[in-house]
């Protein structure tokens, strides 16, 4: 069983991979998720915690081509 710290680290790593795989940059996806770029970056680097945000990232569709 993974410790809480390791679970959070894994969730952040998976969220970053999901964003990359689906073509989202932090700056483009932050407004879609209803948060600032700064908050998103802090969550994904472990400086802040937000299970809600990590869960929302999992639900994102592929980014639209611009």
pLDDT tens per residue, range 1-46: 779 999 999 999 999 999 999 999 999 999 999 999 999 999 999 9
Centre a 10 Å sphere on the Cβ of residue 18 and count the other Cβ atoms it contains. Answer: 15
Contact 39, 46 (CB under 8 A): no
Q: Where do runs of H (alpha helix) occur along the chain?
A: 4-21, 26-33, 37-44, 51-59
Question: Hey, where are the domains in the chain?
Answer: 4-59
Tokens of 2: 């993974």
pTM, two decimals, is: 0.89
């Amino acid at each position: 069983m993974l410790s809480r710290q390791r679970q959070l680290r894994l969730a952040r790593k998976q969220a970053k991979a999901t964003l990359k795989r689906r073509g989202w940059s932090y700056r483009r996806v932050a407004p879609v998720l209803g948060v600032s770029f700064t908050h998103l970056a802090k969550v994904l680097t472990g400086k802040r915690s937000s299970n809600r945000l990590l869960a929302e990232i999992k639900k994102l569709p592929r980014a639209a081509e611009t």
